[in-house]
Amino acid sequence: MLFVGIDWAEDHHDICILDESGDVLRRRRIEDGLSGLETLQALLAEFAADPTQVIVGIETDRGLLVRGLLASDYEVYAINPKAVSRYRDRHAVSGAKSDAGDAKVLADLVRTDRHNHRPIQGDSELTDAVKVLARAHRSLIWTQQRQANQLRHLLREFYPGAIAAFGSDLTSTDALALLMAAPTPIRGRTLSQAQIGSALRRAGRQRQIEARAAQIQAALRQPQLQAPARVADAYGATVAATVPILLELNAQIAHLEQELKKAFEEHPDAEIYQSLPGLGIVLGGRVLAEFGDDRTRFQHAKARKNYAGTAPITKASGKSRIVLARVARNRHLADACYLWAFSSITRSPGARRYYTALR
């Protein structure tokens, strides 16, 4: 057996190859990309005729390098950087650290302690595609929320009537259409109900247009504290620059959601996930993407809960016993499970009863 540690970086990777007794066979720095992977394969071929004899330790579970290692039929372990740091302290207490030294630590770790870690499993290409779309979709939503928070902060400084008109839903098409038409309080007060109704129609609203236009007009014309005219105009220009960003984010989020829907519904496990209370297209796609579809990934249900971060940890020593939330987890999956839990209590009477009992 050969044990390989790879300390990866953006443009190069340090590697260390050990035999079963822990002797160093090769140390090398390889380039990132195809040429570097070919160099690594050639080095390993000098000592092992069968790729299944090669075990690799690396501090990431994604990227083209990892895909190339898996495609080469090597057994690959993604080691948490914190675990690598703790393992390094077993061999050197001086605090010294180098890329080449970390590669040696990773190789030693998979040589002696790989039974305490989980190898990277092979999810299907479709699941990997769902993961890319689900993470990109969530990332855009977070970007949208940051932009909405910035917009709300701007409006609080000079345009409270707009917040009164739309509340916290500043990413809605109604709010963005009106702010595009009236980015300042002076302009907002001059809008007639007909103009507001036209803006709502252009934004896509089809029902209760007149009633909603009256509500918005009343909110915009309420007496409010005012900023100086020049300052209000400067804020208005900033709002006018922010609104198109949110409009584009809305469009791209909707586009990605459609792509995610197509990929998720194509997966054979989609029906199983959607049968669970609280999981729809978006959350179901996120949960599938993070759990994967390799049936051998988790040995038991507790391992799956640990990965999601829903299983607590206990710290017990003597008479002291403390139960805490798990910090080491897949944060993408933990976020999806949090939303899933609160969605389920509106869809499942059993989930609602359980939640109420816990409260």
Domains of the chain, residue spans: 2-116, 127-263, 270-358
Give pLDDT, residue 86: 87
Q: Are 25 and 2 in contact (CB under 8 A)?
A: yes
Fold (topology level) of 127-263: Helix Hairpins (1.10.287)
Domains 2-116 and 127-263 share a fold: no
How high is the pLDDT of residue 175? 93
d(CA 85, CA 103): 12
The CATH number for 2-116, chosen from 3.40.50.1370, 3.40.50.2300, 3.30.420.40, 3.20.20.70, is 3.30.420.40
Residues 265, 133: Cα–Cα separation, whole Å? 13
Produce one character per residue of 284-317: b if its CB has 16 or more CB atoms within 10 Å, e if not: bbbbbbbbbbeeebbeeeeeebbbbbbeeeeeee
pLDDT of residue 179: 95
Residues 122, 16: Cα–Cα separation, whole Å: 24
Which pLDDT belongs to residue 97? Answer: 82
Q: What SS3 state is found at 135?
A: helix
Q: What is the pLDDT of residue 297?
A: 84
The ranges of the chain with pLDDT < 50 are none
pLDDT score for 327: 87
Element at 57 (helix H, strand E): strand 54-58
**pLDDT tens digits along 228-262:** 999 999 999 999 999 999 999 999 999 999 999 99
